[in-house]
Amino acid sequence: MAQVFNNIGLIGKPNHEGAAVTLAKLHTFLTALGYQVYVESRVAEPIVDEEYSASLVEIGRNCDLAIVVGGDGNMLGAARVLARFDIAVIGVNRGNLGFLTDLDPDNFERELEQVLAGKFSEEKRFLLEVEIYRHEVLKSSNTAVNEAVLHANKVAHMIEFEAFIDREFVFSQKSDGLIVSTPTGSTAYSLSGGGPILNPKLNAISLVPMFPHTLTSRPLVVDANSEVKLALSPANDVDLQVSCDSHVVLAVLPGDEIVIKRSEQQLRMVHPSKYSYYNVLRQKLNWGSRLY
């Protein structure tokens, strides 16, 4: 039987003892099965020689499967790079909640062997493309897997902006900011802000106000093919930022415009065959078990 995957990349959480142990176990396990294994350069030593140490881009170009060891934050950081390439991605949970990391670090062998044999489910998660315009000139851009968040660089500081969907005015707002989330991110920062949980199969994005100065402001879910534009009031008197997955920060000024839309890039995720999104929700959010 032909192998489903040939070259496998290992990506891990730097300076984390548990992640280092799991990476070493994965490397031993995979090489014993005959796979060519590359390890991300930040965590390659002492697992592999320099010849098999690779950057995220090199892993994306040369590998069929990437295994990310860490928490959801590590998965997000890798995903923004790997989404450019046709590479499958699966996670080993060495973090806290681990919505995006399926495999148990202490007992990954059986489920991973099934994945390697082609017994897995696959889905594609879309990203957001975030662009900052100043006087109609593009100043900066980046992508987000979970969410793009407009906020002030000061805690609890109210800002003013207008929101447009497909160039149609929707609302003006005074608040601490706005969370624009993908379905993947609906169980992250958006959930903490009172946003809805969106099944990852939905082609939708949510707009979640952060502490709005009105009792009638509520989260809004729109089609992911929509273009969201946030026009910042020139009257804002504080430095503003747009945060992408809490990793990348784009500076914005009063009067700037922020355009957020679905990116053409997609993250290709694979899961063990027994994976269930609703089972993940029950486990991570401590929902009740069946009554009968």
Q: Report the distance separating Cα 259 and Cα 226, nearest Å.
A: 11
Q: Which residues are catalytic?
A: 72
List the beta strands (DSSP E) in 34-136.
36-40, 53-54, 65-70, 88-93, 120-134
C-alpha 184 chain-centroid distance: 7
**Contact assessment for residue 83 and residue 266, using Cβ atoms and an 8 Å cutoff:** yes
The DSSP symbol for 223 reads E
Taking each helix axis from N to C end, the angle separating 109-116 and 17-32, rounded to the nearest 10 degrees, works out to 50
Binding residues for NAD(+): 72-73, 146-147, 157, 174, 176, 187-192
Binding residues: 72-73, 146-147, 157, 174, 176, 187-192
Exposure of 109 in the CB half-sphere (CA atoms within 13 A): 9
